[in-house]
Amino acid sequence: MHEKFLEYLAHERRYSIHTIKSYQTDLIQLRDYLAENYDGGDVIDVSFDQLRSWMVYLVESGISSRSISRKISSVKSLFKWAKRYEGVEVDPTRKLTLPKVAKRLPVYVEEEQMDYILDAAKFPSDFEGIRDRLIVEMFYQTGIRCSELISLETKKIDFHQNVIKVLGKRNKERIIPVGDEIFDLIREYQMRKDELEHIEDTKYLFLTKKGVKMYPKLVYSIVNNYLREVSTLRKKSPHVLRHTFATHMLNRGADLNAIKELLGHTSLAATQVYTHNSIDQLKDVHRNAHPSGREER
């Protein structure tokens, strides 16, 4: 039955391929565990005791609490769907207690480090250099996701209103204001793009030097290349620049709800995680500026 559930996620909920793959992996792992330890059976027939046994197995296997919680959430979502659409009455996940997950704070790059990265002299003046600088600037100044940047269409750039229109998760469009500096860079980049010998994917803003749409691995490589000059963070991905955008905005007094809208979050809870970074900065300011804070301890 879980195959029908995955089809529902794809066609009704319009989840991404990667999200559906995660659900599929979790459910197949449970199915394989049942086959090995309880003579098989459909995942939808799993009992509370069997789920508890699976959780113990996952813990003993060294799986992190975060990963276990995600796997159980996948099973919970399956039964929620099954009760609503398939007439299943018993939900063995209802009384399951999920393991406590330590809150993981978003990592970000310091403002001084970003200033160093965005020094125009660091970027070549050819097509790829201008494009790469624009990519880093776009992530940092707008907080958009990698998938949103790759899919950004040229017609969504509004030079009159100084905004870009981004198509986010579940095909929800949002409007993000952008400064004059980045629009000047977009104009410079477009002139360089027009000089390419061949352009295949004409509607997209960001292209490779072969004139085709950018792809995630290339964007990651570009961002990683510049972040590693200044950052010792283990992760140096485009998402780190999204975290950096939100943290710097909050540190400089931006309203949390405004940041939520700019990031395209559906829930304020997802945005509130950045307040922890902001509080840490305030503590540093207090420790360095207040007379008692500077005393040696």
Q: Choose the final residue of a domain: 51, 85, 119.
A: 85
How far is the C-alpha of 75 from the C-alpha of 92, rounded, in Å? 10
- Return the beta strands (E) in the chain as ranges: 157-158, 163-167, 173-177
How far is the C-alpha of 149 from the C-alpha of 126, rounded, in Å? 21
| pLDDT band at residue 288 using 50, 70 and 90 as cut-offs | low
Question: Are residues 262 and 130 part of one domain?
Answer: yes
Question: Are residues 249 and 168 part of one domain?
Answer: yes
Q: Is the Cα dihedral 35, 38, 44, 49 positive or negative? A: negative
DSSP 104: P
User: What integer pLDDT is reported at residue 277 of this predicted model?
Assistant: 59
Question: Are residues 237 and 139 part of one domain?
Answer: yes
Q: Centre a 10 Å sphere on the Cβ of residue 152 and count the other Cβ atoms it contains.
A: 22
The predicted model gives 250-255 an average pLDDT of 88
Cα distances from 177 to residues 151, 153, 160, 240, in angstroms, run: 18, 16, 11, 20
Tell me the three state secondary structure of residue 173.
strand
How far is the C-alpha of 117 from the C-alpha of 228, rounded, in Å? 10
The predicted model gives 254-264 an average pLDDT of 92
CATH code for the domain of 227? 1.10.443.10
Question: Are residues 140 and 269 part of one domain?
Answer: yes
CATH code for the domain of 28? 1.10.150
Question: Are residues 173 and 250 part of one domain?
Answer: yes
User: What integer pLDDT is reported at residue 297 of this predicted model?
Assistant: 40
Domain enclosing residue 152, as ranges: 111-287
Structural domain includes residue 106 = no
Question: Are residues 81 and 115 part of one domain?
Answer: no
How far is the C-alpha of 139 from the C-alpha of 240, rounded, in Å? 9
Q: Choose the final residue of a domain: 30, 51, 85.
A: 85
Structural domain includes residue 296 = no
The predicted model gives 34-53 an average pLDDT of 88
How far is the C-alpha of 184 from the C-alpha of 83, rounded, in Å? 54
Number of structural domains in the chain: 2
**For 96-151, what is each residue's pLDDT tens digit?**
887 776 666 678 898 999 999 998 888 999 999 999 999 999 999 999 999 999 99
Structural domain includes residue 160 = yes
Question: Are residues 64 and 158 part of one domain?
Answer: no
Q: Which residues are catalytic?
A: 145, 169, 239, 242, 265, 274
Question: Are residues 182 and 46 part of one domain?
Answer: no
Starting at the earlier edge strand, list the strands of the sheet with 173-177: 157-158, 163-167, 173-177
User: What integer pLDDT is reported at residue 272 of this predicted model?
Assistant: 83
Question: Are residues 212 and 282 part of one domain?
Answer: yes
User: CB neighbours of 278 closer than 8 A, spacing ≥ 6?
Assistant: 247, 250, 251
User: CB neighbours of 217 closer than 8 A, spacing ≥ 6?
Assistant: none
